[in-house]
Amino acid sequence: MEIRALGLTGLAVALFGCGDGDPRAGLNTLLPGLDERPGNATCIAPARVDARTRVSVPRVFPDLTFASPVALAQAPGDSSRWFAVERGGRIRVFDDNPGVAATRDFVDLRGKVHGAGEAGLLGFAFHPDFASNGLAYVNYVGLVDGTVRSITSEFASPDGGLTLDPGSERVLLLAGKGPSHRFGGNIEFGPDGFLYIGLGDGGEPGGDGEDPHSLLGKMLRIDVDARPRGAPYGIPGGANRNPFFGNPHCGADGTGSRDCPEIFAPGLQDPRRWSFDRRTGALWLGDAGLHTSAKISRIERGGSKSVAQYGPTLGFSITGGRVYRGRQATRLAGRYVFGDRGGMIATLAPGADGTYTVVPLVQPGETPSGSTGPLQVSAFGEGADGELYVIDEARGQVRKLVFTDEANGDNVPQLLSETGCANMSEPGAPPLLSLIPFAPNAVLWSDGARKDRWLGLPDSQNVTVPSSGKWEFPSGTVLVKHFRLDERLMETRLFMRHPDGVWAGYTYHWNDAQTEAVRVTGGLTVPVGGQDYIIPSEADCLWCHNEAAGFSLGPETAQLNGAHLYPQTGRLSNQIVTLNAIEVLTPPVGAHPPAYAAHTDTQESLDARARAYLHINCSICHRPGGPTPATMDLRHDTPLPGTEACDVVPTLGDLDIPDARIIAPGDSARSELLSRMSRRDAFGMPPLATNLADTEGVALIRAWIDSLTAASCR
């Protein structure tokens, strides 16, 4: 029978008030599910060892050389061509063919570009609808009435995208600038469809980065498709509006009498290169200091969070990179890769406190494999397939990043049988009885897989239970989870908190005989039963198990306040009762704790089931500090008007839904949230580790949205 997740009060009713016909009659005891805490001497997270990944940089277009290349791009939806941006003012186009021997001009702006020092043609971006409208954008340094200006302009193609017409220039934005350095200049369209522009701070200590009356030292965001009252661009509004939305546009010198509405985030120094993670939308930026320090930041509306930095021992001029989302089987999948003009190529290793450690893949001044000398890294390009390319400005060459993971590069075994966290005595056997089983009330959709979960807790170490109810686990903890399709074990995931406090995920793919599971690092897609089952990469694990969500997702008071069958004793008991009894919770959970509803439990209200579903399936990213550019807060206890979703116009695209709202009360057909849940294309949610929509979950959220009224949002 289906067991309803009962709270402590419901369990007492089951003991004292149920007749023989009550569907909860099986809960006939207040005995805990376990008599004592299991001893766990084997399933313990080991100390981390920095795993070594080597990178080689073979030249991919050996017959082509460029003059001071600073950017490399492909047009949206077109992987047949590459576009190389030269600092002097030309953008050259060539076929995506290793044997290509010639290029042609896409546009020649050398007559417009002022090229002294670090100036020149610095940024280039295609309009997301370039295939239909032929529009593209550049940032360059030019002279306006003899004064140096940072100029962002729009150009149009006269011939179906083969070239840009230099005479079609529509100047969008000007900013005053010093004569030689710290220009920034990178531009990109974000996942919200708006143009982002990163400008340097003026080149002096204490520059304009914090002055809201200046565009310098800022990440700007404008709407190139809007021209309100004859202005050359609009300012993004709505729930995700720019911080100073509503103020007059700043003037032709890049300053204003009021706070500039173009500003998306202040406080930058020299943001030469930055990028959006194509999967999560997160904005990563490399910001160069005054030859003394460099930092990597995550940019959000209104500000930035520095996550790592390095000094002159590793380089002198950071080149922001990209999150690797390509097809190579590497532990760097989902990791940020960046460089320095001093020759370093590096990645970031996550720490326990939300910061990262710089891990060089190529040391400063080192000659990487595939090159004839150290690189002068000016930019990273990303292909339509997610593969990364590095531009060596000094030699004018384009090279591809090829990763090779060293075998057994860390202390986590390659075989599940060697982890101490699984019983391999028979095919498909459950983990050891030394682990504590648990089951959350509300479950995350995993393409129809059934999941079984266990907790490996170091002996003498307890779980801390703060007043928020979000549990904190000691170092050494391992959370174990089996995934099954049609009773076949597909994978086992181990989520470990290592002795240094860092959380990391590891996943193991089971063989056909169900006798062993082998570790997967870069992700894997397995055809099974007519579907493509996705095993995520180890880096992908941390996009859901993120700092804002508290890393461990299922174990929290309201999730475990429900019934579970304990195989060690054969008893069906409340999990909080059990964990209190075996003394693993500090402090013990008190009487009448909250309980989330299972979305299949029709005895619970529609609202309770829907909010619990959104909490576990969506709020892990959509919450304050989460890894998404959207501002929604879909946590269970956030009042609906405070979610920034109810009757709110979408700011990241409306999916061609007429009069769309994120959640349109009473009208699920106009609700972008439901549309994203229902699809698995580039606009689907969640954006990773799933190929199938949750039809039951979609039906639940549809019914819930249709039950809402306008008053629900106020």
Mean pLDDT of 202-211: 69
pLDDT at 203: 67
**Do 191 and 655 contact (CB within 8 A), yes or no?**
no
Which residue has 């703060």 as its token pair?
Answer: 466
pLDDT at 245: 94
- 189-198 pLDDT, tens digit per residue, is 999 999 999 9
Residue 616 has pLDDT above 50, yes or no: yes
Residue 103 has pLDDT above 60, yes or no: yes
Cα–Cα distance for residue pair 145/537, rounded to 1 Å: 54
Residue 408 has pLDDT above 60, yes or no: no
CB-based contacts of 512: which residues, under 8 Å, 6+ apart?
none
Q: Give the strand pairing for 121-126 and 170-176.
A: unpaired
pLDDT at 381: 97
pLDDT at 392: 93
Residue 469 has pLDDT above 80, yes or no: yes
The number of beta carbons lying within 10 Å of the beta carbon of residue 524 is 16
In the chain, domain spans: 29-48+410-596, 610-713
**pLDDT higher at 678 or 119:** 678
Percentage of the chain beyond pLDDT 90 is 66
Region of 634 please: left (phi>0), alpha (psi -120 to 50) or beta.
alpha
Local structure of residue 214 (DSSP, 8 states): B
CB-based contacts of 17: which residues, under 8 Å, 6+ apart?
none
Mean pLDDT of 317-322: 93
Residue 18 has pLDDT above 50, yes or no: no
pLDDT at 20: 28
Residue 653 has pLDDT above 70, yes or no: no
Mean pLDDT of 623-638: 84
Mean pLDDT of 70-97: 96
pLDDT at 6: 40
Residue 476 has pLDDT above 90, yes or no: yes
Residue 629 has pLDDT above 70, yes or no: no
pLDDT at 4: 35
Residue 226 has pLDDT above 80, yes or no: yes
Helix or strand run (H / E) with residue 13: helix 8-16
Mean pLDDT of 223-252: 91
Mean pLDDT across the chain: 88
CB-based contacts of 218: which residues, under 8 Å, 6+ apart?
198, 199, 209, 260, 262, 263, 264, 265, 266, 267, 268
pLDDT at 595: 96
Q: Out of 136-150, 221-235, 354-368, 472-486, pick the least confident.
A: 354-368
pLDDT bucket at 207, cuts 50 / 70 / 90: low
Mean pLDDT of 602-608: 96
pLDDT at 487: 86
- DSSP states of 74-119 as a string? --TT--SEEEEEETTSEEEEEES-TT----EEEEE-TTT---STT-
pLDDT at 430: 66
pTM across the whole model: 0.66
For the CA atoms of 422, 426, 429, 432, what is the dihedral angle to 10 degrees? -40
pLDDT at 116: 66
Tokens matching residue 354 = 């939300």
pLDDT at 23: 26
